[in-house]
Structure 1
């Protein structure tokens, strides 16, 4: 088995490889690559696009706005800016317009009052988008894998069906990274998604298409999934809200790739949106029967909460340092909570956080309580039914012959070589349990933990390859199975979004969601790209 020294050498080699790939990518852009502007140049001019899902639903139910006008406004926006960001990869405009007309007809014939209609259809007529990894009837479901490019969904994923039942209307499916296993959304089927605040920067992954679509006001609510930060990283990079629910609350059924064993606890399906007031209503719909595990109707007085914060992971050898602008943004939040809100705020040092990547990779490789082995990533990457050979695939990629992206090939090589012996695995599993106990005891039922969403703001395209393990800032909370909400905190000096994670104890999602609404009111929330 690999020694710790050998593991470090492999990590270094992967980072050096990423550095050179980054240089190649930059050269490609300079010498004949696509010329991209700094960001979306057209701000939102249609007022309907600046309303939350809750507000839109109310106006539609009260017959003050026609559903078809809302849907058409979003279609016009998508046609206008999606070619720049490549967030939505397959439209369903004609179907959406038919469904909108049906909603208007229903309201014309149904004279029930607003409260009755809200109970039946809380998101009646509200447009939404869906990560391509989820089944949406009649739409592709490849998860960015070339050998699945012709797969068309014959039914809806559970969360998609629940949102449809709540009256929401899907506009299309959004881009993701290949097999949802990288934090830049790019694949050989749909190409690359771009950040609407600066097209030269990543939209994140794996729900990156969803993130940039929402940020660009091409949708108002969206469906994402998260096993290492795939909701929260793109939400952070694109300046929107994203919530990873407590483990086992929202159904993961109907998405690709499938997981099994203990990984089922780590994968979370959750909402992404521009406005914090949409988070609780969306989660209520998406959770279905799982809503009984949460306390979303419990009133939260944010002032009475206990706040804990930590500005970085304590010095991990595999992650980069946290940007000073992100630390300053976090300190502004802390100062506001102390001086304006008068809340209890305590700085903490959780020593085991610096092993976040090691804890994540160990737990992702562990057997479940039922003894089932987790699905191996390399087994999902098949060539005519046979698992790929990573080194050979790398050679093919260098020759321009591979159907896979370089991050996926690198991850397959890492999975094949980065392994812990049983003793090391037991050590990290025990460390995970110790960290979880420390956090749960610290937070109780009235505490939240503030922690960076990522060490840096959205990096430029390809740069993520030189920082492959920075996702540990989000991934650690997947293996701890805790609820987390990513909250936007405005823009930095270069116009890229800032943000922070708000973490709570198990099944205390209502606490993080209440803090999200408070931070939105205090720091402004989503900022429309192209406005400044």
Structure 2
């Protein structure tokens, strides 16, 4: 065989150049990655510096506010702070106080404690006091407007609602300049009912975890215990009401974001059926997030009583108030229906309700189970029938909700946070979203071998979904809704009494490794059933553990560890659930329970230490 040295060398030289080219491409790609990362870090540092200046100015402005102390006795001031909105309305009607007094009393408390507890994003004092003066003037004139549900009452708003002139950051450092030029519809609707929005409250970064912490306004501390979380995403709202910085306000809920903070802080929260609430005016996140329709977000109140939840429900849902606005403002595709006054005030005897104390998929703590037992016994004592029910196909709901959450690999949220890093509480979601499917399969097998069955089953549910897969998921939701309606029919029950959450408030950052506790709330978002929570009891000394868990895996071990971190005395709520569009039934049953339990007749609001 002839050997041609020239051809061989030419061939080797050409291969060498190919290798050089590939190496150069890889070097450029790696270098550009390093450069982009460095530029991102520099941008974050610059923006964080801007945030620090912004917060320093916010803090100084709040400190410099001159808020006069009302010419009232300390007893009256204390009564105002402890009263719900229904009681405050009576005090206004009886001319014991004026709206100006209410704004001043609550604003002073925000000024004193709001920053320390991470609750306040902005105090809208100047415009609130002017609105209060106008309300007092109209009351002197006996204006018919005084009969509006929230007339002259200062309320708080979750920071995710657009309000003219105030940033809606959603906890993102790069949204300081996102300042609406007009109020969102929800704020307009509440103002049309006489309410005075005076306080904006803190949320988690991107408002998609159940701990309220971000790099703009910091972390919300639970008024009952600073070492515990206040819940999320309406954490600032729950904490504000429990800390008596606000008599009541608005939150939103896509996985428990109203009910979790209300439960963690021992107050009242209500999530309607999504189509019976107005989300117009809830700030824009991203096209991917705002465009999804698989699991719908709902807006609703967090308050000090069921009576107050009903006041908000009237203002937010009654057609007589909604029809004052143009179609494009109130969203014509959300049907309005008359409030069923008969059902709202239903006092029939021997009604029939369902209940469950815990779920096999992930047990709730003994304190949460005991709260259900208390509620059930109160209803039985009134002559009602209570039947224990087993929820169908809970694992499908658990897996389906995770599929929904990560169906776009969390891209809707990453679009919002494209220029910044996520807070550490997002770590598990980040891992699930970014890990390639092949590696997830390997990890799933590994977790099975290690005895972590829950993680092993969860991992395959976290892949990005194709369109046909998402359609199948939506079809499955429809089937599950029918199964749960059949549960109501088969047992002939009007509502279900159940745990509000898997545990009471746990230490900060514990959501990293104890996420199954939120199963008890997101079930009802997935199915789109109305539900609300109310305080019933407190954690007892002997309940500070999770030894009752039937699952002996990492999340259960972590809940046990966290429950032992001084949880005695924390509030524990129960949840009431009704079929879709039966908000009146849900509120009515909550009212029946609350009248019997009267948590705050036997307990004081937390002292701020």
Q: What TM-score results when the alignment is normalised by the length of structure 2? A: 0.70
Verify the 8 A CA contact 1:352 1:431 in the aligned structure 2: no
How far does residue 407 in structure 1 lie from its aligned partner after superposition?
Answer: 2.6
Q: Residue deviations 1:161-218, cap 9 Å, x none?
A: 1111111111220000011111000000000000000010000000000000001111
Corresponding residue to 1:284 among 314, 321, 327 = 314
Q: Secondary structure at the match of 2:164?
A: coil
After superposing the two structures, state which structure 1 stretch, 261-270 or 164-173, moved more: 261-270
Distance in 2 between the 1:261 and 1:520 partners? 38
How far does residue 71 in structure 1 lie from its aligned partner after superposition?
Answer: 1.3
Distance in 1 between the 2:300 and 2:346 partners? 21
Verify the 8 A CA contact 2:242 2:606 in the aligned structure 1: yes
Backbone CA RMSD of aligned residues: 2.8
Q: Secondary structure at the match of 2:535?
A: strand
Distance in 1 between the 2:258 and 2:368 partners? 19
Verify the 8 A CA contact 1:135 1:157 in the aligned structure 2: yes
Distance in 1 between the 2:315 and 2:342 partners? 13
Tell me the equivalent position of 2:533. Answer: 486
Tell me the equivalent position of 1:528. Answer: 605
How far does residue 97 in structure 1 lie from its aligned partner after superposition?
Answer: 1.5
Verify the 8 A CA contact 1:74 1:218 in the aligned structure 2: yes
How far does residue 85 in structure 1 lie from its aligned partner after superposition?
Answer: 1.8
Distance in 2 between the 1:486 and 1:175 partners? 21
Distance in 2 between the 1:107 and 1:430 partners? 53
Distance in 2 between the 1:334 and 1:364 partners? 33
Tell me the equivalent position of 1:501. Answer: 575
Tell me the equivalent position of 2:483. Answer: 438
Give the gaps of 5 or more residues in structure 1. 1-42, 368-372, 384-401
Evaluate the alpha carbon distance shift between residue 376 and residue 281 of structure 1 in structure 2; reply closer, same or farther with a 3 A threshold: same
Q: Secondary structure at the match of 1:498?
A: strand
Distance in 1 between the 2:506 and 2:89 partners? 36
How far does residue 410 in structure 1 lie from its aligned partner after superposition?
Answer: 3.9
Corresponding residue to 1:324 among 366, 369, 389 = 366
Corresponding residue to 1:189 among 216, 219, 223 = 216
Verify the 8 A CA contact 2:537 2:571 in the aligned structure 1: yes
Corresponding residue to 2:137 among 80, 101, 105 = 105
Tell me the equivalent position of 2:379. Answer: 337
Verify the 8 A CA contact 1:458 1:496 in the aligned structure 2: yes
Tell me the equivalent position of 2:107. Answer: 75
- Choose between structure 1 and 2: higher helix proportion: 2
Tell me the equivalent position of 1:19. Answer: none
Tell me the equivalent position of 2:347. Answer: 301
Evaluate the alpha carbon distance shift between residue 531 and residue 91 of structure 1 in structure 2; reply closer, same or farther with a 3 A threshold: closer
Q: What TM-score results when the alignment is normalised by the length of structure 1? A: 0.79
How far does residue 497 in structure 1 lie from its aligned partner after superposition?
Answer: 0.9
Tell me the equivalent position of 2:170. Answer: 143
Q: Secondary structure at the match of 1:346?
A: strand
Corresponding residue to 1:95 among 110, 119, 127 = 127
Corresponding residue to 1:131 among 158, 162, 165 = 158
Tell me the equivalent position of 2:454. Answer: none
Aligned length: 458
Verify the 8 A CA contact 1:262 1:364 in the aligned structure 2: no
After superposing the two structures, state which structure 1 stretch, 326-335 or 140-149, moved more: 326-335
Q: Secondary structure at the match of 1:85?
A: coil
Give the gaps of 5 or more residues in structure 2. 1-74, 323-334, 436-461, 541-567
Distance in 2 between the 1:44 and 1:424 partners? 59
The 5-angstrom pairing of residues 208-287 of structure 1 reads 208-256=235-283, 257=285, 259-263=289-293, 266-287=296-317
Distance in 2 between the 1:194 and 1:459 partners? 11
Are 2:484 and 1:407 aligned? no
Distance in 1 between the 2:472 and 2:173 partners? 38
The 5-angstrom pairing of residues 305-316 of structure 1 reads 305-314=351-360, 316=361
Q: Residue deviations 1:32-80, cap 9 Å, x none?
A: xxxxxxxxxxx99611122221232243245442111111111222223
Tell me the equivalent position of 2:87. Answer: 55
Higher RCO (CA 8 Å, separation ≥ 6 residues): 1
Q: Secondary structure at the match of 2:162?
A: coil
Distance in 1 between the 2:139 and 2:264 partners? 38
Q: Secondary structure at the match of 1:313?
A: coil
Verify the 8 A CA contact 1:178 1:408 in the aligned structure 2: no
Distance in 1 between the 2:434 and 2:398 partners? 17
The 5-angstrom pairing of residues 195-214 of structure 1 reads 195-214=222-241
Evaluate the alpha carbon distance shift between residue 303 and residue 431 of structure 1 in structure 2; reply closer, same or farther with a 3 A threshold: farther
Evaluate the alpha carbon distance shift between residue 341 and residue 55 of structure 1 in structure 2; reply closer, same or farther with a 3 A threshold: same
How far does residue 104 in structure 1 lie from its aligned partner after superposition?
Answer: 1.5
